[in-house]
Every structure is written in C-alpha cells, then in structure tokens.
Amino acid sequence: MTTATTEAPPDTRRPKRPPPSPFAIGAIIGAVALTIATGADWRYGIGFSLTEVLTDLTRPNAPMRGLVNIDLSILTNSRFLDAFAETVQMAVIGTICGSIVALPLALLNSHIGAPNRIVYGAVKLFNNVIRSFPELLWALLFVAAVGIGALPGILALFFFSIAVVTKLTSDTIDGIDPGPIEAARASGAGHWQMLRTAVVPQILPGYTSFAMYCFELNLRASAVLGLVGAGGIGELLNFFRNQGAWPQVWGVVAGFVIIVIIVEQISMAVRRRLL
C-alpha cells in the first residue's frame, strides 16, 4: 500500500453509485409483474380492490352481527366437548404415528443419511410430493377411500405429519457436528449404526421439538378436516354455518382459539427447554 502512494497518485475520483444487481432488478420486476397479473381486474386476475373491500365491510352482514352476539354457552355443550375431544384424539394419533415414520425418512432425506444417490433422490421426490399436499386434500382423498368419520381425518394428519416432521428434521441433519460421524466410521461402524449412534443423538432434541410443533399444526388443521366430513370440530362448525347460526360459529371458534393458544404456550415452553 505504501509503495502505491509513492509511485502513482491515489485515485481521488468519487466512484459512481453502482447499479443494483441483476438479481435485484429481476426480482423486483418479477414481483411487480406477478402482483399486477394476479391482482388486476382482467380475465386471469382476481381483481382486488380496496374500495370493494370497504363497501362490502360497511354493509351490514350476518357474521359481524353474530360476533356481537357471540354464544359462549356452546363451550359447555356436550356436542362441542365431544367434537373437540375427537379433534384432540385425531391430532394425537396422527402426530405420534406420523413422527415415528418421519425419523427414518428424515435420515434418508439427507446427504449424510442416504446410503446412495438413488435412495436419496427417491426419498427426496417422495417427500416433496407429499409435502405439496395440503391437509384438507389428504382428507378429501381419504374420505373417498374409507368413508366419512374420524378415520380419514387421522390418516390425513398422519401423512401431513410425515411431510412436516421429515422436512424440518432432515434440514437439521446436514448442519450437525461431523466429528462423531468420522469417529463412528473410524471405529468400523456400519451405515445404520453410524446414524443411530452419531447422528440420532444430535438431532433428537430438534426432532422432538418438530414433532411437538407438528402437534400444534395438527390441532389447528384438525379443526378444518370436518368441513369435508373427516371428523372433529370442523363438522360442528360446518353444521352451525349451514344453519346460519353465526353466534354459535363464533363461540366454537373462540373456544378453539383459547385451547390452541394454551397448547401452544405449553408446547413452546417445553420446546425452548429442549433446544
């Protein structure tokens, strides 16, 4: 640096403001174009307009009136309690069974855990496909397959849990400490022995936390499965909605929200300790 000053005078010209990166320009143009294409009022847009939202909101409407007269007595009604119990049962069974299946799948879904590229690719594809199914789509399919009731709901949550827990867990695997893996290999361990002794103990807290998080998701999700006949609190909601009984709809929603928040607070406290 010091030699440069003696040989050539320092470059005192002020630099020009650099143009934004091609990536930023592309991303901004893409985002604006997508917003116009999707939001505008044309053949393929949804025609979103704030004035429409405001005029609709200022018209008197049944759900808002129902919110004012919210019927909280529904929470002690046995129909609510039964439907709610079913929601919890479905979430418990779906989460536990799904999470158990998800652990080996998560191992195979990582570079470290897959024994070869073919297995890795196949598991990754399978996981991407089931991950793109919303829980209600699973419910639709299982209602068609095994009829209405809690069973299709449980199966829907089972597959939904596999997708969620596998994805979240396998994402943590590539970031673990590679030291124990080398140690296991150096002691002559087989592939599954290495995974069991060097990888699983490291991902176990994360995995448990994801399974509990998935239970929160499932509890929330199991409230809507009833809309397509797959059991739980959603059936009750659908019933009141079809009756136009909005005070009762709001009552059920309020009870559901309270319980979801309580479960979430407990689960978050436990998860914070785990990690």
Partner 1 sequence: MSEPQTTTEQRFDTIVRPEKPFNWFRLIVTGAIVAGLLGATLTVDANWSRLPDAPGQLWTIARLMFTNLDLDALPRALEGMWESVAIAWIGTIIGAILSLPLALLAATNISSRATVPGVRFVLNVLRAIPEIILAIVLIPIFGLGALAGTLAIGIGSIGTLGKLSAEIIEGCDAGPVEAADAAGASKTQRIRWSVLPQVMPEILALWLYRFEINIRASAVLGVVGAGGIGTMLQQTIEFRAWGQAGIALLVVVGVTILVDTISGYVRRRIIRGPSGKPQEEEPAAQAEAWI
Partner 2 sequence: MITFEQATVTYPGGVKALTGLDLEIPDGQFVVIVGLSGAGKSTLIRTVNGLVPLTSGRVRVGDRDVTALSRRQLRSLRADIGMIFQQFNLVTRTTVLNNVLMGRLHRVPTWRSLVGWYGSHETEIAMRALERVEIVDKAYVRASNLSGGQQQRVGIARALAQEPTVMLADEPVASLDPPTSRAVMRDLQRINRELGITTLVNLHFLDLAREFADRIIGLRSGELVFDGPGSEADEKVFEQIYGRSLTAEDVLEAEASL
Residues of this chain that interact with partner 2 (CB under 8 A) are: 177, 179-180, 182-190, 192-194, 196-198, 201-202, 204-205
Q: Which does 205 bind (CB under 5 to 8 A by kind): partner 1, partner 2, none?
A: partner 2
Q: Which does 32 bind (CB under 5 to 8 A by kind): partner 2, partner 1, none?
A: none
Which of 4, 36 has the CB closer to partner 1? Answer: 36
Q: Which does 183 bind (CB under 5 to 8 A by kind): partner 2, partner 1, none?
A: partner 2
Smallest distance from the beta carbon of 30 to partner 1, in angstroms? 9
Smallest distance from the beta carbon of 51 to partner 1, in angstroms? 12
Smallest distance from the beta carbon of 232 to partner 2, in angstroms? 35
Q: What is the DSSP string of the chain?
A: -HHHHHHS----SPPPPPPPPHHHHHHHHHHHHHHHHHHSSSTTS----HHHHHHHHHS--HHHHHHHT--GGGGGSHHHHHHHHHHHHHHHHHHHHHHHHHHHHHHHTSTTT-SSHHHHHHHHHHHHHHHTS-HHHHHHHHHHHH-SSHHHHHHHHHHHHHHHHHHHHHHHHTTS-SHHHHHHHHTT--HHHHIIIIIHHHHHHHHHHHHHHHHHHHHHHTTTGGGGT--SHHHHHHHHHHHT-HHHHHHHHHHHHHHHHHHHHHHHHHHHHH-
Q: Which does 23 bind (CB under 5 to 8 A by kind): partner 1, partner 2, none?
A: partner 1
Q: Which does 151 bind (CB under 5 to 8 A by kind): partner 2, partner 1, none?
A: partner 1
Which of 38, 193 has the CB closer to partner 2? Answer: 193
Smallest distance from the beta carbon of 264 to partner 1, in angstroms? 7
Which of 96, 101 has the CB closer to partner 1? Answer: 96
Smallest distance from the beta carbon of 106 to partner 2, in angstroms? 15
Torsion angle, CA of 51/55/61/65, rounded to 10 degrees? 90
Q: Which does 184 bind (CB under 5 to 8 A by kind): partner 2, partner 1, none?
A: partner 2
Which of 149, 205 has the CB closer to partner 2? Answer: 205
